[in-house]
Structure formats: C-alpha cells, structure tokens
Amino acid sequence: MATKTLKLATGVCLVIQRDAIQTAILLASIDQVSGGRFVFGVGGGWNQDEIESHGTVFSEPASRRWTSRSRR
C-alpha cells in the first residue's frame, strides 16, 4: 500500500545560482511524480563571493531575489 501523506522536501536551494528554466522544469517533474507532495526550499544566499562567482550582482537582500542575470 502506498502512502498518501508523506511529503518530499529539499533543503534550501539558492535559486539565483541556478538556471531558472532548468530549475523550473526539474521541480515541475518532481512535483508531478510525487503527486503534488513536493516542498521546495528557496533562498537568496548571503555570501557575496559565492553569489558574484555565479554571475549575479550582490545587493541588499530584498532586491537580490530579482537581480539574477541571464547565463550566457
């Protein structure tokens, strides 16, 4: 018998360090396979060197969520 209450979850993913389209496709697939029981943890990061090494401009936390540049 399969469980109907167990959820599948991640730790916090620093989404500004990942390609947005690939991440969305992956997450949609996992959510579909899990029957809508997938919980995704999202974070914006705090380490300036790490963030800038992924091509994102480091800024104040509230604006950092939306300043990820497109990957070339």
**Domain range summary for the chain, segments of one domain joined by +:** 10-64
Query: Mean pLDDT throughout 30-44?
Result: 89
The predicted pLDDT at position 25 comes to 95
Other CB atoms within 10 A of residue 38 CB: 17
Tokens encoding 31:
């959510």
The predicted pLDDT at position 72 comes to 39
Q: What is the chain's mean pLDDT, rounded?
A: 78
Tens digit of pLDDT for each residue in 11-24? Answer: 888 887 788 899 99
Q: Which residue has the higher pLDDT, 48 or 72?
A: 48
